[in-house]
Chains A and B, each alone.
Chain A
Amino acid sequence: MSDRIDIHLPETAEPLRDAIRRLRWFRQALDRQLDDLRAETGLSFAVDDRKLAQIFVNWLREVDAQKPKDASARRAYFDFVSGLMLRDLLREMPLQAGPLPPQADTTQPEYFWPEGFALTLFCLNVRAAVIEQEFNAETTLAPEFFSLRQWWTFKENVTQDSATAIGFFDVFAGNHPDWQMPDSFRHRLNAVLIEQAKAARLTE
């Protein structure tokens, strides 16, 4: 797997930022992700559609509730809501992986934690596709994404506090994580502003 994100999502005539907020497209996109992963790794998954719909509805409501009025925060908000989606998916876990294929190497993240890996990759892919479409920008995976040690910590932490999934998502996406209040966009924005002010003082 390369550090460049390979985007393979269902076609849509709508902007992806709108398509992802339609349950039918969201399901198709996840199914395609799982199909790709199955072809590449031999892993198989069962999806609980009802659970997925509940996660989707809760996520939509939180996306609307935290939506910033300031248009300049859009890019940061796309990053944030992608992590938020991962938090909700991991918390409720709509996937169940089948038995590992015979050649599975459990020192590889995808075999170490198949469900977590599939959902994380899905959220990273959707984020990458939206950012490419909205901002004409390419995204890559951070080296931490390929580290088993990182995945071990990720799984351990998410089991205790699902909100930490947003921080790990940022690490994998190469962003600065907010570990204090990861599921508050306002707190995240404030942290970014403080960092920017510090950097400005250093360059003066």
Chain B
Amino acid sequence: MTLQRQVLIVEDEPDIAQFISAALENNGYVSRIVGTGVDCLRICSGKLPDIVILDLGLPDMDGQEIIRAIRAWSKVPIIVLSARDQEEQKVLALERGADDYLTKPFGMKEFLARVRVVLRHVNRRETLQEAAYCSRDLIVDLARRKVSVGGNETRLTPTEYNLLAVLVAKAGQIVTHAELLREVWGRGSEEHSHYLRIYIQRLRQKLGDDPLYPRHIFTEPGIGYRISAEDET
């Protein structure tokens, strides 16, 4: 029996907390519910859970502040839940270190998939870097900086490769525009999101990805990009 994952649900609405908890327990997780930011921080300062599901609208604290507080000492994965569907809020939470974001109301399937992706990503981080990313016909050999699609090697410029590498490093998760720009073009270039769109477009072309029917790189309008999660093997 594998070790059960501990999930901390920070949610002040008992009904929502209940059904999230039920869904997680059904899928083999162990969950604990707290209703306030203070409780959340108290628990996180003790034994860390494996993942935190955080509601942004708590009675005592702003969720954004909780993310910042946790990130001050821990890299525990955080998935943010909120009724706020404003893009700025999503981007802010991601920028502050949240790993993913779901807007209420959300589907349970979607939710569980996100939890899985985030945890897998952490696993990989723990078991050291994998040498290659592999999804459908796309293979990125991170050690040799080689990319191939359908077995044929594709030549990428350094910028295109760097862009792809940043996405692959967080495969399955949203990478915000600002983060991509910062990682690829350096600090201070966060404003130039149209560079990003142009390079993503070129990258898609080279990877044989149709922007109308993307298979590899997905656009999250107003937030960032996400490369599809690795094939589960």
A and B form one complex: no
